[in-house]
Amino acid sequence: MISIAYSAGLFGIDGYLVTVECHSARRLSCFEIVGLPDNAIKEAKERVRAAAINSHLPFPQNEIIVNLAPADKRKEGSSFDLAILISILISGGVFEKPELLENSCFIGELSLSGEVRRVNGVLCMAVAAKKAGKTKLFVPQENVNEASVVKGLEVYGVKSVNDIVNHFNGLKELSKTEYTPSNENDAFSYPDFCDVMGQVAVKRAVEIAAAGGHNILLIGPPGTGKSMIAKRIPSILPEMTFEESIETTKIHSVSGILPQDVSLIRERPFRSPHHTMSAPSLVGGGKIPQPGEVSLANNGVLFLDELPEFNRTVTESLRQPLEDGKITITRTAGRITYPCSFMLVAAMNPCKCGYYGHPTHACTCKKEDIKKYVSKISGPLLDRVDIQIEVMSIGYGEISEKRKAEPSSEIRKRVNKARAIMQARFENDTTENGVKITCNAQMESKHLRKYCTLSNECSSLMETAFTALGLSARGHDRILRLARTIADLGGSEEIQPNHIAEAIGLRSLDKKYFN
Ligand SMILES: Nc1ncnc2c1ncn2[C@@H]1O[C@H](COP(=O)(O)OP(=O)(O)O)[C@@H](O)[C@H]1O
Ligand SMILES: [Mg+2]
């Protein structure tokens, strides 16, 4: 006799329905699992048997063969345990009305005592279960919040396998978990810009970067507040759209870093990896490919403090993700693509001692050492940074100022307004790679031609800058994108000459520091 229970597997951030078929026959006692299972699933045999015995459920002394279909997909992890045991219990006649289980999907790892333990990627699997037409989903209690986000699916949190048996046999019904928006992590926990005195030009640059999603490099001597300012950027980032939230939550869910009480990430992530990190942990990798920091920062900020301290191979590995907005990792398990649309924020001293270019403080570095220091950041990487801004120390008058500076909430209002304009503009636009465009920084040349038309006056200003600054085509496009954001912040449909002028000023440090 064949009995069936449904579960879901994970491939990257996409889930898929898995049919767990259990064949049981009155023959010599044995237990096999087939269907491309990895080692964790082979160990499922031991967990499932122990869980059944310790839950006082009958485990058939028969020949049992469990098949995980589709067989051509390599199944990973321990999330099939629960469905495997359910399929065996069905064949053992434990459920009085097994047909009641047909529209249900079961996800969870089992402990030896029969408890159901949390697994990674439940949101992705819940989406897949819904798509495959399942109406009920049983997940570990600890994962119930993330699963509840999926509309049109009844979600139940379970603590033990007996919860499910009792539920279906009418002994003790479980209650559905409804999605509660209060479980979104939108409580602002990031430090506020009201602490940053002076630095008007830097704050303006940061506001432009946040509004348009532009990559930004802060450069200047030590102690001038570069790290302080960068850490405040998440507090002014625009609100996330629902799609952005879902995508980012999926990645965090797959990585197992989604807090238990959070159902949906509503705050843009801010990832700040240390400079000792390796390239695979930055861009993703491992035997079972895991998302890297670039993907965990998806729809948010990746902050690299002390940029030249990072290993060059590590910073170079950023180029492709910066360009494509997604990254594909190839391993034996297959090719997995993770989204990685992020805003790069980097900070650095201009040289080893930190004072090169300082108006009053002498730099003690040798000329070739200065060159060596900045050359750690390659041209192609710099090319992908729209804004470079110098951060110099503020005067005594500003530091001793008693009044607080403008709070992040005010800056964020302006950023939100500008981003709303962008979202409306790019409603139907995608990049060549098929990434949906949400902000000006993602515009490619065809979008620039469409949305950044220039008046004659603006054109001639551009032409002057192009020749005087020796701009490349890439530099030209960068200025257009920035000017578009500056115009959006000012609520202007047309790009005006003052927008172009400000945009040019946001990228004028190449000569001073990098040549
Ligand atoms: N504009 C500012 N307003 C208030 N405090 C500041 C400002 N700039 C720097 N500071 C103070 O100096 C400290 C050092 O700044 P930090 O961000 O670490 O500098 P950097 O990263 O440029 O070396 C900050 O923690 C803060 O206390
Ligand atoms: Mg610093």
Euclidean distance between CA atoms 400 and 230, whole angstroms: 22
Element (H, E) at 106: strand 104-106
Euclidean distance between CA atoms 325 and 338, whole angstroms: 9
The amino acid that residue 62 corresponds to is N
Q: Tell the residue nearest (CA) to atom 25 of ligand 1.
A: 228
**Domain ranges for the chain:** 2-179, 193-431
Q: Which residue has the tokens 């449904």?
A: 6
pLDDT of amino acid 188: 58
Rounded to the nearest 5 degrees, what angle is found at the Cα of 85, between the Cα atoms of 84 and 91?
95
Q: In angstroms, what is the span from residue 440 Cα to ligand 1's centroid?
A: 30
Q: Which ligand sits nearest to residue 198's alpha carbon? A: 1
Which CATH number is 193-431 given? 3.40.50.300
For residue 221, which atom of ligand 1 is closest to its CA? 22
Q: In angstroms, what is the span from residue 225 Cα to ligand 2's centroid?
A: 7
For residue 393, which atom of ligand 1 is closest to its CA? 8
For residue 347, which atom of ligand 1 is closest to its CA? 21
pLDDT of amino acid 183: 55
Closest CA to 265 of 156, 187, 365: 187
**Ramachandran angles phi, psi of 492, nearest 5°:** -100, 130
Largest CA distance in the chain: 89
Q: Which ligand sits nearest to residue 222's alpha carbon? A: 1
pLDDT of amino acid 238: 93
Q: In angstroms, what is the span from residue 475 Cα to ligand 2's centroid?
A: 28
Q: In angstroms, what is the span from residue 79 Cα to ligand 2's centroid?
A: 42
Q: Which ligand sits nearest to residue 202's alpha carbon? A: 1
Calculated CA dihedral for residues 116, 121, 122, 127, nearest 10 degrees: -160
Closest CA to 386 of 489, 269, 505, 274: 505
Q: Which ligand sits nearest to residue 229's alpha carbon? A: 1
Contact 211, 415 (CB under 8 A): yes
Q: Which residue has the tokens 């209650």?
A: 175
Contact 231, 257 (CB under 8 A): no
Q: Tell the residue nearest (CA) to atom 14 of ligand 1.
A: 223
pLDDT of amino acid 494: 94
Instruction: List all residues 6 or more positions away from 210 whose beta carbon is below 8 Å from its beta carbon.
Output: 233, 236, 237, 238, 343, 411, 415
pLDDT of amino acid 42: 77
Q: In angstroms, what is the span from residue 216 Cα to ligand 2's centroid?
A: 15
Q: Tell the residue nearest (CA) to atom 26 of ligand 1.
A: 225
Euclidean distance between CA atoms 389 and 392, whole angstroms: 10
Residues 82-129 pLDDT 10s: 999 999 999 999 999 999 999 999 999 999 999 999 999 999 999 999
Q: Which of 197, 224, 304, 306 to mutate to test the pocket of ligand 1 (most atoms within 8 A of CB)?
A: 224
Q: Tell the residue nearest (CA) to atom 6 of ligand 1.
A: 225
Closest CA to 200 of 461, 349, 498, 401: 401
Q: Which ligand sits nearest to residue 405's alpha carbon? A: 1
Q: Which ligand sits nearest to residue 306's alpha carbon? A: 2
Q: In angstroms, what is the span from residue 370 Cα to ligand 2's centroid?
A: 18
Residues 26-57 pLDDT 10s: 887 888 898 877 877 778 999 999 999 999 99
For residue 305, which atom of ligand 1 is closest to its CA? 21
pLDDT of amino acid 187: 46
From residue 371, give the alpha-carbon distance in Å to each of 305, 308, 357, 365, 515.
Answer: 19, 12, 13, 10, 8
Q: In angstroms, what is the span from residue 237 Cα to ligand 2's centroid?
A: 21
Q: In angstroms, what is the span from residue 306 Cα to ligand 2's centroid?
A: 7
For residue 196, which atom of ligand 1 is closest to its CA? 3
Q: Which of 204, 228, 232 to mutate to test the pocket of ligand 1 (most atoms within 8 A of CB)?
A: 228
How many other β-carbons are positioned within 10 Å of the β-carbon of residue 243? 11
pTM: 0.90
Q: What share of the chain is helix, strand, coil (3-state, %, to 5)?
A: 40, 20, 40
**Ramachandran angles phi, psi of 49, nearest 5°:** -65, -50
14-46 in b/e form (b: 16+ CB < 10 A) is bbbbbbbbbbbeeeeeebebebebeebbeebbe
Which residue positions in the chain have pLDDT lower than 70?
Answer: 182-188, 332-333, 515
Q: What is the 3-state secondary structure (H, E, C) of 408-469?
A: HHHHHHHHHHHHHHHHHHCCCCECCCCCECCCHHHCCHHHHHHHCCCCHHHHHHHHHHHHHC
- The answer to whether the Cα torsion of 503, 504, 509, 515 is positive or negative is positive
Closest CA to 305 of 326, 283, 274, 278: 274
- Return the structure tokens found at 382: 């710099």
Q: Tell the residue nearest (CA) to atom 5 of ligand 1.
A: 196
Instruction: List all residues 6 or more positions away from 39 whose beta carbon is below 8 Å from its beta carbon.
Output: none
Q: Do domains 2-179 and 193-431 have the same CATH topology?
A: no
Pick the CATH number of 2-179 from 2.40.50.140, 1.20.140.10, 3.30.230.10, 3.40.50.1110: 3.30.230.10
Residues within 6 Å of ligand 1 by CB: 195-199, 222-228, 347, 394
302-318 in b/e form (b: 16+ CB < 10 A) is bbbbebbebeeebbebb
Contact 197, 376 (CB under 8 A): no
For residue 405, which atom of ligand 1 is closest to its CA? 3
For residue 391, which atom of ligand 1 is closest to its CA? 22
List, in sequence order, every residue forming a beta bridge with 219; answer none if it has no partner. Answer: 348, 390
Q: Which residue has the tokens 């993602």?
A: 442
